[in-house]
Amino acid sequence: MNEITCPLCEMTDVLTHPDLYECSTCGHEWEKEAAQDEAAGPRVVKDAYGNVLADGDIVAMIKDLKLKGSSDVLKVGTKSKPIRLVDGDHEISCKMDGMAIGLKACFVKKVTV
């Protein structure tokens, strides 16, 4: 079953009204037609500067990020191997500095070759 999620907070606690949906977590309301239009279109992932990302692109970090559960830090400018776009809260799966990691698209920029 395709569960409805809030477009803002991505929680699944959604109340259904006759003409709209309401998120019980954050209070956001949106129309049912808008939700159906979003589900029909392909997923578009953009980097921090608005460039559309695709599988096989190479990205670079735009800020230092400390890796959770480790003392390692990904430095600004660190480039990845070719990326793979995945579903979930971290849109990008890639390898950086020999580690397989998941990244949010807002922390990277697309590198043109």
Q: Hey, where are the domains in the chain?
A: 1-41, 45-111
The CATH number, out of the four listed (2.30.30.40, 3.90.1150.10, 3.40.50.11310, 3.30.70.1150), of the domain defined by the range 45-111: 2.30.30.40
Mean pLDDT computed over 62-78: 91
Mean pLDDT computed over 93-101: 91
Q: What's the sign of the alpha-carbon dihedral 69, 13, 9, 85?
A: positive
Half-sphere exposure of 40 (CA within 13 A, CB side): 6
pLDDT reported for residue 36:
55
pLDDT confidence bin for 75, thresholds 50/70/90:
very high
Fold of the domain built from segment(s) 1-41: N-terminal domain of TfIIb (2.20.25)
CB 101 within 8 A of CB 79: no
pLDDT reported for residue 2:
56
pLDDT digits (tens, 9 = 90+) for 5-57: 887 777 888 888 888 889 888 888 888 875 555 555 577 899 999 999 999 99
